[in-house]
Amino acid sequence: MNVIRAFIAIDLPDDVRKRLSQVSHKLQQQLKDYPIRWVPPENIHLTLKFLGDVSEHNLRLLTDLLAGEVGTHRPFEFGVGTLGAFPDMRRPRVIWVGIEAPNELLALQRGIDQTTARLGYAREQRPFQPHLTLGRVSRNASGAQVRDISRILQETTVGFLGSTRVTEVHLYRSDLRPEGAVYTRLFTTPLNPDAPPAIA
């Protein structure tokens, strides 16, 4: 049985992606001496649900369920800006740019999480914190390196980078290769302009 790694995500417009690329390039220059794996600009996206392994059988069911769920949500916009890190800026392991999360985005993520659970995919245990990952600090980074990275991040200001209008959701395949992850879009389904407003 063939199995792929997959995730569900929102893509970004070219203007926002270009500004994210500029922010990432600036950070890479400032942090070039530190063990950080940077995400290529073309791979930056807003993940709604990481599925992990998906079988061919589940893939067919998944696309049908995803289309049904996404079709109950109407298009919306969100803003992109501010620099952050997980678990926090003092102990950065994942470097990201934040998302202004409107009710529509939260409702869409919640609906997708509930829908994929019907196929046996685990529900998210942590509150959804929408973000765009720029880089990941190596687990081999020393305490001194992590403190330096933290200081540089806290000294870096990232303002508003633009708005994204969400009209569709994508299912991606992820292939891990020596040069990094390669994402292939497998399925796209539109939001529904006639859907009722989202409830917080």
**Distance (Å, whole) CA 151 – CA 176:** 31
Whether 12 is in a domain gets the answer yes
Q: Residue 25's domain is classified under what CATH number? A: 3.90.1140.10
Whether 91 is in a domain gets the answer yes
Find where tokens 């869409």 sit: 108
Structural domain boundaries enclosing 62: 3-190
- CA distances 198 to 77, 102, 106, 123, 160, Å, are 13, 9, 9, 20, 25
Q: How many domains does the chain have?
A: 1
- pTM confidence score: 0.94
Whether 200 is in a domain gets the answer no
Supply the residues annotated as catalytic.
45, 131
Whether 143 is in a domain gets the answer yes
The stretch 154-180 carries a mean pLDDT of: 95
Q: Indicate the pLDDT class of residue 166, thresholds 50, 70 and 90.
A: very high
139-160 in b/e burial notation, b at 16+ Cβ within 10 A? Answer: eebeeebbeebbeebeeeebee
Q: Indicate the pLDDT class of residue 30, thresholds 50, 70 and 90.
A: very high
Q: Indicate the pLDDT class of residue 96, thresholds 50, 70 and 90.
A: very high
Tokens of 147: 């403190």
How do residues 10-19 score in pLDDT, each as one tens digit?
A: 999 999 999 9
Q: Which of 41-45, 56-60, 137-141 has the lowest mean pLDDT?
A: 56-60
**Distance (Å, whole) CA 125 – CA 136:** 22
Within 8 A by CB and 6+ apart from 142, the residues are none
Whether 41 is in a domain gets the answer yes
Whether 8 is in a domain gets the answer yes
**Distance (Å, whole) CA 166 – CA 168:** 6
Whether 197 is in a domain gets the answer no
Within 8 A by CB and 6+ apart from 43, the residues are 180, 181, 183
77 DSSP assignment: E
Whether 124 is in a domain gets the answer yes
Statement: residue 199 has pLDDT above 90: no
